[in-house]
Amino acid sequence: MPRTRIVVTPLVFFLSLMTLCGCQDLIPVDTKSLLFPGFHRSEIMGLLAGFGTTFAAVPDLIAMLKRRSSAGMNPRMAAILGVFQIVWVYYGLLIASRPVIVWNVVAVFINFLSVGAFFYFNRKEKAKSGG
C-alpha cells in the first residue's frame, strides 16, 4: 500500500466526520406548513410519496381493461398487495398518519379492482373457450 494512500484515507475520513458533525442545523424540523396550516411538512411529503406508489398498479389495470383480457395479470400479487395495504391502513390509524391512511385506502381499492377485473375477464375467456 503506498504511503500517500495510508495518509489520505484517514484524512478524508476525519474531514468527512468533521463535516457531518457540523451539520446539526441541517436536520429538518417538522414545522407547520405554510401552504396548509393543518398539515405538517412530513404529511405533505408523505402524500406526494404515496401518490407515486399508490398509482403504480394503474397502468396494468388500464392495459387489462383496454385488452379486455386477463392475459399477463397475476391476481395473487394484487390480492396480496391489497391485503397488506389493509394492514398499512391499520398502521396509519395507529400512528395517526393521514398520508399512510389515505393512499393505502386508495391502493386497496385499485388492487381489488384489478383482482375483480381479472376474474371477470378470466370467466369470460373460459366461457368463450368452452372450458
- Residue 24 pLDDT > 60, yes or no? no
| Span 25-45, pLDDT tens digits | 545 455 454 455 666 777 777
- Lookup: cell for 65: 381493461
| Span 31-85, pLDDT tens digits | 454 455 666 777 777 777 788 778 878 888 888 889 888 887 887 887 888 888 8
Contact 73, 114 (CB under 8 A): yes
Largest Cα–Cα separation, the chain: 79
| Residue 84 identity (one-letter amino acid) | F
pTM for the predicted model, two decimal places? 0.60
Look at domain 27-129 and name its CATH class. mainly alpha
DSSP reduced 3-state for 35: coil
Taking the alpha carbons at both ends of the chain, their separation in whole angstroms is: 72
